[in-house]
Amino acid sequence: DTEVTQTPKHLVMGMTNKKSLKCEQHMGHRAMYWYKQKAKKPPELMFVYSYEKLSINESVPSRFSPECPNSSLLNLHLHALQPEDSALYLCASGRAAGIDYGYTFGSGTRLTVV
Amino acid sequence: DQQVKQNSPSLSVQEGRISILNCDYTNSMFDYFLWYKKYPAEGPTFLISISSIKDKNEDGRFTVFLNKSAKHLSLHIVPSQPGDSAVYFCAASGGSYIPTFGRGTSLIVHP
């Protein structure tokens, strides 16, 4: 299995809703990442988990809350989002110590906040 | 300030010809460089990488060239195929192994 699976593929939520994005990989990767991508822009790093521990939080607002329950799963909990948070949210995984394979990205969750 | 720059937002090439995508970087601490390919509605896919100890890396139709003194790298696709039409992101990283992405170049290969 060489894929990173993200669910759901599309999500529409109101500003008062609570929802979660899920990401799963079974490649034995020990680093997992959340990126946010706006249209026609490169992916922007949000969070990095290394060996299930949060190692980097790129000044992301607290309405985004990541969780790594185990080495294969990564969640992003969403609460009280704003319309400007509408974007494609990408999960990626990679080897924790080095990047000789690059990263494997999921197909993303397209989030619309109304 | 962009540390990884792809100055051409788009490139159009005839099928069978060479596609050359360029990338410049400013951070001299970068020592690993990657190219990603992204189709619409999909996440970026790793394509090819190069370490700063090399100046060329080849994988099939794809070759990446690195000019450290100029802080410039390029991706050559020969021969170009319509299926290569996608957005190509250049990325660079240093000790943290977290890539910094360029803004991407949209490649269109015409049949």
DSSP-based three-state secondary structure for B84? helix
* Stronger pLDDT, A64 or A41, i.e. the higher one: A64
The per-residue pLDDT for range A89-113, each reduced to its tens digit, is 999 888 764 444 567 888 899 999 9
- The total number of residues shown for chain B amounts to 111
Q: B102 and chain A: CB distance < 8 Å anywhere?
A: yes
Please, are residues A18 and A78 in contact by the beta-carbon 8 Å criterion?
yes
Amino acid found at B14: Q
Q: Nearest-CA distance from B102 to chain A in Å?
A: 6
Instruction: Nearest chain A residue to B4 by CA: give it.
Output: A42
- Please report where in the chains the tokens 């100046």 appear, as a residue: B55
How many CB atoms sit inside 10 A of residue B25's CB? 22
Q: Nearest-CA distance from B66 to chain A in Å?
A: 16
The per-residue pLDDT for range B46-91, each reduced to its tens digit, is 899 898 999 999 999 999 999 999 999 999 999 999 999 999 999 9
